[in-house]
Amino acid sequence: MRSVDGNRCSTRWTQHATAQQFCIEDVGQRSDFCGSDLGGPFITTSRGVDSIVGILSDSPCLINIQTPSQPSLVTRISFFREWIFQTTQI
């Protein structure tokens, strides 16, 4: 998986891509995630530490786009960090 350039992301997801979201893709695959993956975590690993950085939000396969390298949409957790801390009080 890799992050997709913001311009390419907003070109694919014209009405959805905002500061609170980003796109990912798995080069050479038909889709990054689909169906039951929706709402699941997007986790990255840096220096041996796993971090949840996003929530899987939308995918080309959910709207029947089956072309290679179409980016999928992820909601950016950091955008909502303050709200999460206030709401959960942790």
Q: Which range is least confidently modeled, 11-15, 26-30, 64-68?
A: 64-68
Q: Which range is least confidently modeled, 53-57, 59-63, 80-84?
A: 59-63
pTM (predicted TM-score): 0.72
pLDDT of residue 62: 60
Backbone torsions φ then ψ of 79, nearest 5 degrees: -65, -30
Sign for the pseudo-dihedral over CA of 67, 55, 46, 83: positive
Q: What percent of the chain has pLDDT over 90?
A: 23
